[in-house]
Amino acid sequence: MRLQYFISSAAALFVGAVSVYASSLHASSELRTRQSVFRSQIQNDTCLRYVANSGICETTPGVTQYSGYIDVGTNMSMWFWFFEARSSPETAPFTLWLNGGPGCLSMIGLFQENGPCSVNADGNSTHLNPYRLCLENAVHLRGPVIYIDQPIGTGFSYGTDTVNSTEVASPYVWKAFQILFESKLFSKYASREFIFATESYGGHYGPAFVTYFDEQNALIAKGANQGEPIVVSAMMINNGWYDPLIQNMAYYTFASNAPGYGQLQPDDVLKNISAALNSPNGCVAQQKNCYAAGNSTDSDKICSQADDYCGNNVYAPAIGNRDPYDLRQNSSALFPPEYYVTYLTNPEVMSMIGAESTYQECPDAPYELFVKTGDDARTWLPQLSELANSRLKILIWGYNSVLAMDWYGNETLHNTPLGNITLNGKPIAAVANIDNFTFACVPFPAFQPAAALEIFTQVVNKEPLHSV
């Protein structure tokens, strides 16, 4: 079962020897003239290759942007797009935004959710987005944001893809930032607070990547590893895919009685979903077998079969022909409209930003590698619980998963009623704050970007979510 991405507004790099495969668009001589290259002295076969201030998307005078590639290995080119804040103090936090999939590009977040621009209906021009993550008039939030397409093969990233699981993906993102912060171009951000923002499959990526970052930081502190510590100060995960067992069961509950909508599917469909969940070899039993298999030799097959069964017999019939991101629409609806797809396939735009491969929004190849290991059917709730226990500042969408977390605030959260917060007197979210941990229920944030930005700002400022 594939989780493409969930729409919300929560919220460099590379190549040593560039070997562009057949489908890639080779950089023109003009592009090579405009490109700058930084070669890592620490990471083997890596470098940063970028175009400065392309004039694409961010058109505010004097505001810096970089786009290009980080080679995280031989023929492994990871696409990035970086935007400086329109007005930034020296201590402004540095934010990473990753979309999910697995295998869906983060340009979705940039152009449809929280980046500095949106593409117009003509597919050939842009306008500034007043709700970007580093909004100029957000007094306390003026930090830079970087969007990265990973794993290799996603979006404009290209080359050899060896990533077949969340765990395998983690070191490559870590290496990308080691190259990034080693360069003079980005070294000034190495000491900034680091905000990890993601969504959808980010429910896997977030706990895994931040845990891996913490492990590497510990090795650096012990002198067992060389590198730049990356200390994540806050993590935000919107509509995350944390625990498949909990979330597959929730599909039936939601389809039976969606708040504000009632029963979404007819009785016979619900009966079939219930049977698929609870039969002796049904979704629940197969998911439990996957969890019990851990990382054993047989776990890939067990987990892959569980994922396939639950996707076909629980998720698909529960959703039916509705848009999974907006129940008011059918599955053919596109919101926000994908004007940016036309924009990113324009050869002139590609040349100006330094893109060398054909744009692919959610290509099959990276995703299929994850399918073979059953990664989608594995849970990252234990790691998320540990991060909550470490008192990391965390903002989560996904109430049932949050209630199931094994952490010191579990009992308090169960006994804390959700309270509404407002923006200019209008309710925008139901929230619960427990120390540094916050759960928020925001009704489809893409429809209320101002609310999503306000929530993001408060989390970055380490504030409990509150009315404004």
Q: What is the mean pLDDT of residues 109-124?
A: 89
Residues 98 and 201 in one domain: yes
In a domain, 383, yes or no: no
Q: Which of 10-14, 70-74, 130-134, 228-232 has the lowest mean pLDDT?
A: 10-14
| pTM, entire model | 0.88
Give the span between the Cα atoms of 257 and 269, in whole angstroms. 13
Residues 95 and 136 in one domain: yes
Query: Can you give the residue range of the structural domain that contains 61?
Result: 29-243+360-364
Residues 225 and 267 in one domain: no
| Per-residue confidence (pLDDT) for residue 300, from 0 to 100 | 98
Size of the chain in residues: 468
In a domain, 405, yes or no: no
In a domain, 125, yes or no: yes
| Per-residue confidence (pLDDT) for residue 448, from 0 to 100 | 66
Residues 212 and 288 in one domain: no
Q: Is the pLDDT of residue 428 over 70?
A: yes
Residue-averaged pLDDT of the chain: 85
Which residue's entry shows tokens 């360069």?
183
Question: Each residue of 438-450: pLDDT tens digit?
Answer: 988 875 555 667 7
pLDDT category, 51, cuts 50, 70, 90?
very high
Residues 64 and 191 in one domain: yes
pLDDT category, 121, cuts 50, 70, 90?
very high
CATH of the domain at 34: 3.40.50.1820
pLDDT category, 21, cuts 50, 70, 90?
very low
Residues 265 and 198 in one domain: no
How many domains, the chain?
Answer: 2
Widest CA span of the chain, in angstroms? 64
Q: Is the pLDDT of residue 253 over 70?
A: yes
Residues 188 and 219 in one domain: yes
Residues 53 and 125 in one domain: yes
In a domain, 156, yes or no: yes
Q: What is the mean pLDDT of residues 114-141?
A: 71
Residues 233 and 253 in one domain: no
In a domain, 14, yes or no: no
| Per-residue confidence (pLDDT) for residue 29, from 0 to 100 | 41
In a domain, 369, yes or no: no
The larger pLDDT score, comparing residue 185 to residue 443, is at 185
In a domain, 95, yes or no: yes
Residues 151 and 190 in one domain: yes
Q: Which of 336-340, 372-376, 382-386 has the lowest mean pLDDT?
A: 336-340
Q: Is the pLDDT of residue 369 over 90?
A: yes
Residues 37 and 70 in one domain: yes
